[in-house]
Chains A and B, each alone.
Chain A
């Protein structure tokens, strides 16, 4: 079974002491575990339960409720594209289609090399600057197909462009 690093365990311990109850540290500890493991799967839930000294079932109940805990691996660059009203009317669908073509995957999928994944998310509170997306923890706004290409190339300079020449640029 995987384990958490000593420093993460210490951080978890400090969090449990900081809150009035140790259970209250659940969300932050799950965030820490996800940072270390890349996802929260069954085993990660077990580890968190053990570190926090609470039942695995309670951990699961919480971890499965929140969308930001991934139960499947996501890419090194996780593109979270806003699909809510303001972004949609500013062209979010076009942006999503462009991303899907460029990466050759559908929404909620990951590229074979594990570098990129795409997810549709709800409003991320920057509606005046849409279309918008988060790439991991970084916000990108005013998206255009060109900006998307720039973000992909910056993340993976080696990425072959021929794949990227398909329908996307013809319009």
Chain B
């Protein structure tokens, strides 16, 4: 399938962060229409449900359904938290959405807040996003000046404050409940669910948490209509997704494609296959938490369920291309180092388990491993599942098992006996 650009449509224009330029290309039209036509909030939620917009932060929960969980007549304030923590290794789409089209995000935020009855939105941005912070803050200031955010927007009586909250370097804060604790000033430890954030979230109030890309898609749903948007994708996944390709691809970068495009097409037709005429060893399809695929396993539609059926995950849609020169045990070591480093320390199985996997991976990569280490990894991996507050440990376990099972020979070659 050819590229189909919705959220990345205006990435090519350098002046897109400027509100006048963005408006000349249609920015805020849907937001203005919502206000001038006084579209009922429930209708917007219905439209987003019809559109089959799925959460793009990794889990794929239907956005409209999530919004519907928020109580309509809450006596407490409600909040939106936009997840701009983008820490999943291999993922770089949210940075682009923040830097290249901040007004699209702000329009999405405004419409979402109107639909759910929210008057304060936080954009939780990872601490290392200095440039995105400058650009988005500037965009917020411009939008306020234009009367598109702030108090009594366009005379509608609707108020909306958008606040950027900078993190300080912790992958776990991308997990939605850790994000909430971090927003409230604490350490980023995930919370037990239930209660779900839609009922008890930020500051103990009902809270919607959505990824940057999810929210950036909202204006397009209003422009096209939910049905048209849904038609672009597959039966369950509406619209497009921004897929990232990095590593040894001939043309690394972002490609916006209809949901359901095959992974093979993404890698070969769009990203140009492997660079320098080298052979392909493997692809990590959706960020480092997703199980690795061999070259003959790539003919899978990029949609949430189909990827699960294939034993992997769509994740954040960030594919890493590994050519034939790559050492899988080395990649395994780098990957497990990340989870060992980023485990928040709250749950014993994750804290101890990730560290143990990393130490074992390092030992193997350095040539000091034994075949029994591999079996132990396979034995221990399932113990991460369901024994912890959040799935960080499981996010190492599944890819670890896949690497060991699919590339066992390569691991064995590094062993002396």
Q: Which residues of A contact B (CB under 8 A)?
A: 18-21, 23-28, 30-31, 58, 61-62, 65-69, 80, 83-86, 88-90, 121-130, 134, 137-139
Contact = CB atoms under 8 A, between A and B. Distances in A.
A85 B165 contact: no
Nearest to A27: B168
B187 A62 contact: yes
Given A27-B166, A127-B92, A139-B131, 19 more contacts: A18-B163, A24-B185, A27-B182, A28-B166, A58-B185, A65-B188, A66-B127, A67-B169, A69-B168, A84-B89, A85-B90, A85-B247, A85-B284, A121-B169, A122-B338, A124-B128, A125-B126, A127-B252, A128-B254
A118 B144 CA distance: 40
A85 B361 CA distance: 14
A128 B331 contact: no
Interface string B185-197: 1111000000000
Given A27-B166, A127-B244, A83 B334 contact: yes
Contact of B185 (A21, A68, A121, A126): A21
B293 interface: no
Interface stretch (B40-48, B318-326, B408-416): B318-326
Nearest to A90: B247
B184 interface: yes
B94 A125 contact: yes
Contacts of A137: 130-131
Interface in B67-89: 77, 86-89
Nearest to B323: A89
Contacts of B77: 20
B90 A86 contact: yes
B203 interface: yes
A27 B334 contact: no
Nearest to A130: B246
A122 B247 CA distance: 16
13 contacts: A23-B186, A24-B184, A25-B185, A27-B165, A27-B168, A66-B170, A69-B168, A86-B247, A86-B320, A125-B94, A127-B244, A128-B254, A139-B130
Contacts of B95: 125-126
A25 to B, nearest CB: 7
Nearest to A138: B130
A129 B106 CA distance: 27
A21 B331 CA distance: 43
* Interface class of chain A by DSSP: mixed
B341 interface: yes
B335 A31 contact: no
A66 B168 contact: yes
B253 A128 contact: yes
Contacts of A61: 186-187
B248 interface: yes
A128 B252 contact: yes
Contact of B320 (A26, A31, A127, A138): A127
B31 interface: no
B168 A127 contact: no
A80 B126 CA distance: 15
A23 B187 CA distance: 12
Contact of A127 (B91, B182, B186): B91
B207 to A, nearest CB: 11
A127 B318 contact: yes
Contacts of B120: 20
Interface in B109-162: 120, 126-131
B401 interface: no
B134 to A, nearest CB: 9
A30 B166 CA distance: 11
B167 interface: yes
Contacts of A134: 128, 130
